[in-house]
Structure 1
Amino acid sequence: MGVVAAASGVLACCNAAAAGLVSSPRSSKALTPLAPSQIRGAPLICRLSVVRLHSERRGDYSHRGKIVCKSSTATQNDASVSQSQAGQGVKHFLHIDDYDNKTIMNILERAAEVKAKLKSGDRSFKPFAGKTMAMIFTKPSMRTRVSFETGFHLLGGHAIYLGPDDIQLGKREETRDIARVLSGYNDVIMARLFAHKDLIDLAKFGSVPVINGLTDYNHPCQIMADALTIIEHKGYIDNIKVVYVGDGNNVVHSWLRFAAVVPIHFVCACPRGFEPDPTTVEQARAKGAKIDIVNDPMEAVKGADVIYSDVWASMGQKEEAALRMQRFQGFQVNEKMMEQAGPQVLFMHCLPAERGVEVTDGVIEAPNSIVFPQAENRMHAQNAVMLHVLGA
């Protein structure tokens, strides 16, 4: 990787941390992780190396092998696309668990390196010079557009925004035709869509990498940013307890698929009838994920490391807002709920937030809220995803 050049100091730190984290490779003794306070004092790149090393020494390679863009679920049109179908050597980023633990941790480590480079003011790293990215938006978003466009520009590339009036997947032109045309013009495609099948078709028929900027089914770039943020603030991510309070939506589906790759305890506390897709839950559990789907948020948050919230009615569900307001009573993240979790808890929200609805203003503005570092990390995590799929 070699993006951040403070090599000797960081390597010394990483070596020391690694030495404190694991026994000899030939030893049969159990791992002895560093205390969180020890890890937290190390540079983020070092902390990520320690997290990755811990996962490797634990033998977490359950998804090693050929990268396959798996089917979403039966409720998401049951469409799939393999790397060979999409074109020789093409990497997509459609679902987090299309990749193994080592690859995901590599991407997060790269995100930390490039973030450090940009935050230092150094703008010399231009791996995307001469490259273009087509950004398809059937769902508008401030964060997704600005984070992708700014990140691609900072790394030397040019991003082209294609809004709902510019491109209509499957309406004005078939998705398979759009995929082929845009592949002829661009080096990568990012798509923020309603239908997950449209994303799958872009990857299946295109000949360049496709990145999932969000679909109604999942939101993998958001969870990559979330993981980066948790590591920055906790110093580790293995075995943390993340409690999501609210609707079992696309963000939850990506957390479930993340838990299938990285060993965390993920809890979704939602009203009855608003649970996440059961097929996705069972697929994640089958891969060893520790997952609880519950209906009592106050009980669920006890001992949580992170409480996570999102709007109760997402884009395209606003006609259900009044009904959801009634059904989600008791699921607001407020000061009492945060206190129930304990002093160690952090608050996260993928934004935009409806303050006073799913979360109180006081919780968002509290010292243990990491909502805005989380939002910034969308750009840094996505930069690393783009670097990965483009092989840069």
Structure 2
Amino acid sequence: MTGIHIEAKKPNHFITTADFTAEQLLDLVYNSLQFKVQAKYTPSEEIKRPLAGKTLAVLFSKRSTRTRIATESSMAFLGGHAMFLGSQDIQLGVNESLLDTARVVSSMVHGIMARVKGHDEIETLAKESSVPVINALSDKYHPTQILADLMTIHEYYHNKNNNVPEGIYSAHTQHPRETLPGKKVAWVGDGNNILQEILVAFPKCGISVAAACPPGYTCDQDVIDIALADAKKTGASVTFTTQPEEAIKDSDIIITDTWVSMGQEEEKKKRLIDFKGYQVTKDLIARGGAKPDWIFMHCLPRKPEEVDDEVFYDKERSVVFQEAENRKYTITAVIDALLNKGSI
């Protein structure tokens, strides 16, 4: 009997937004908007389920709320099945190497969504996997979060520009390339994976970034180099300071994140001292001189030392819960692109 040899195609992955052009990212955001419209306004029986019969392995080394819910509900929306595999469920990093796990898991599923620790882990998974790998978070990048941020910013300015009444969803009528260029983001906080993903995504989309981080909490040099090169091409600006007020000046959007990430609990006392003066408050924003219609974003979970209640729960300024919801639709768009269409 003669065997059949099929040459396996190298799968496409979603490891960081740095790997994609501005048009690819903005089209992903636009597709996310379409999925949101479908989810909110299309009868369930009329929604196409292109991933029926397909399985996504959800490998999480770290706990998650938004990313896990968004991933599992996205696969259900697309008609597929999400198989959650936490650190207590499989041998990953215990009795089996990452390389072996990648090869075994990818042989039985159609895609892998992985939330890891070191960025080298997601790179190894992608290298050894025979199916698409999506980075659900590493210590260097968090791409699906930043797609949701781009989507949220677009929605805010689309609705404002078009006088859309509150409660009406119509942010799909404009493409994000029409709303995002020319905006300025102020980052106030740690030089962490969120800021690093912002730096490799926002400037290439024409969004300026001013980052305020305490001394010693800086970003990786390769990330800075990418941001500066992208900004030079689009006319955006990228600046760094240790003074929050300097970053906030003339900003449209103010973003922060946790100062103490998972795995950094032992550093908490020192970090709280180092980040003194970095809590986002309306007083800080006024002293910095943000634009009159500034908005606030945070990827959650939030701690009070990062931003006070007045800003965080401000119904007109804070878009944090809209931002959280949008995790679902951007992850839907990424999963659909890779597992259904085959590429971003």
TM > 0.5 between the two? yes
Report the alpha carbon displacement of residue 260 of structure 1 after superposing the two structures with TM: 4.8
Any conservation in 2 of the 1:247–1:270 contact (CA below 8 Å)? yes
Alignment pair present for 1:321 and 2:260: no
* 1:248 corresponding residue in structure 2: 191
Q: Which has the higher contact order (CA 8 A, sep 6+)?
A: 2
Report the alpha carbon displacement of residue 121 of structure 1 after superposing the two structures with TM: 4.4
* 2:174 corresponding residue in structure 1: none
Match of 2:73 among 123, 141, 150: 150
Q: Runs of 5+ in structure 2 lacking a partner?
A: 1-7, 159-178
Q: Secondary structure at the match of 2:204?
A: coil
CA gap of 1:106–1:360, structure 2 versus 1, over 3 A, is same
Q: Secondary structure at the match of 2:107?
A: helix
Match of 2:291 among 342, 345, 354: 342
* 1:100 corresponding residue in structure 2: 21
Any conservation in 2 of the 1:241–1:303 contact (CA below 8 Å)? yes
How many angstroms apart in 1 are the aligned matches of 2:94 and 2:203?
Answer: 35
How many angstroms apart in 1 are the aligned matches of 2:189 and 2:94?
Answer: 33
* 1:275 corresponding residue in structure 2: 218
Alignment pair present for 1:296 and 2:243: yes
Any conservation in 2 of the 1:331–1:358 contact (CA below 8 Å)? yes
How many angstroms apart in 2 are the aligned matches of 1:326 and 1:213?
Answer: 30
CA gap of 1:252–1:168, structure 2 versus 1, over 3 A, is farther
Report the alpha carbon displacement of residue 279 of structure 1 after superposing the two structures with TM: 2.3
Any conservation in 2 of the 1:97–1:261 contact (CA below 8 Å)? no
Any conservation in 1 of the 2:51–2:80 contact (CA below 8 Å)? yes
How many angstroms apart in 1 are the aligned matches of 2:33 and 2:108?
Answer: 30
Mapping of residues 151-230 of structure 1, within 5 Å: 151-230=74-153
Q: Which amino acid aligns with 2:98?
A: T
Q: Secondary structure at the match of 2:186?
A: strand
Report the alpha carbon displacement of residue 344 of structure 1 after superposing the two structures with TM: 1.4
* 2:334 corresponding residue in structure 1: 385
Q: Which amino acid aligns with 2:295?
A: L
CA RMSD of aligned residues (A): 1.3
Kindly tell me the number of residue pairs found equivalent between the two proteins.
Answer: 305
Q: Secondary structure at the match of 2:336?
A: helix
How many angstroms apart in 2 are the aligned matches of 1:389 and 1:157?
Answer: 13
Report the alpha carbon displacement of residue 122 of structure 1 after superposing the two structures with TM: 2.6
Report the alpha carbon displacement of residue 297 of structure 1 after superposing the two structures with TM: 0.5
Match of 1:111 among 32, 55, 62: 32
Q: Secondary structure at the match of 2:279?
A: coil
Match of 1:309 among 256, 280, 286: 256
Report the alpha carbon displacement of residue 328 of structure 1 after superposing the two structures with TM: 0.5
Any conservation in 1 of the 2:210–2:240 contact (CA below 8 Å)? yes
* 1:364 corresponding residue in structure 2: 312
Match of 1:263 among 206, 227, 240: 206
CA deviation digits over 1:135-188, x for unaligned, max 9? 001011111111100111111111011011113434321111111111111111
How many angstroms apart in 1 are the aligned matches of 2:255 and 2:68?
Answer: 23
Q: Secondary structure at the match of 2:239?
A: strand
How many angstroms apart in 2 are the aligned matches of 1:94 and 1:371?
Answer: 24
Identity of aligned residues (%): 39
Match of 1:331 among 261, 268, 278: 278
Structure 2-normalised TM-score? 0.86
Q: Which amino acid aligns with 1:126?
A: R
CA deviation digits over 1:193-230, x for unaligned, max 9? 11111100111011100000000111010000000000
How many angstroms apart in 2 are the aligned matches of 1:208 and 1:192?
Answer: 16
Q: Which amino acid aligns with 1:261?
A: K
* 1:38 corresponding residue in structure 2: none
How many angstroms apart in 2 are the aligned matches of 1:221 and 1:283?
Answer: 19
How many angstroms apart in 2 are the aligned matches of 1:341 and 1:168?
Answer: 49
Report the alpha carbon displacement of residue 107 of structure 1 after superposing the two structures with TM: 0.8
Any conservation in 1 of the 2:50–2:340 contact (CA below 8 Å)? no
Structure 1-normalised TM-score? 0.75
How many angstroms apart in 2 are the aligned matches of 1:338 and 1:224?
Answer: 25
How many angstroms apart in 1 are the aligned matches of 2:203 and 2:105?
Answer: 32
Q: Which amino acid aligns with 1:218?
A: Y
Alignment pair present for 1:353 and 2:296: no
Q: Secondary structure at the match of 2:114?
A: strand
* 2:170 corresponding residue in structure 1: none
Any conservation in 1 of the 2:140–2:196 contact (CA below 8 Å)? yes
Q: Which amino acid aligns with 2:334?
A: V
Any conservation in 2 of the 1:242–1:306 contact (CA below 8 Å)? yes
Q: Which amino acid aligns with 1:190?
A: M
Runs of 4+ in 1 over 6 A off after TM superposition: none
Q: Which amino acid aligns with 2:274?
A: R
Report the alpha carbon displacement of residue 338 of structure 1 after superposing the two structures with TM: 2.9
How many angstroms apart in 2 are the aligned matches of 1:348 and 1:373?
Answer: 9
Q: Runs of 5+ in structure 1 lacking a partner?
A: 1-86
Any conservation in 2 of the 1:97–1:260 contact (CA below 8 Å)? no
Report the alpha carbon displacement of residue 280 of structure 1 after superposing the two structures with TM: 1.2
Q: Secondary structure at the match of 1:90?
A: coil
Q: Which amino acid aligns with 2:331?
A: Q
How many angstroms apart in 1 are the aligned matches of 2:23 and 2:144?
Answer: 17
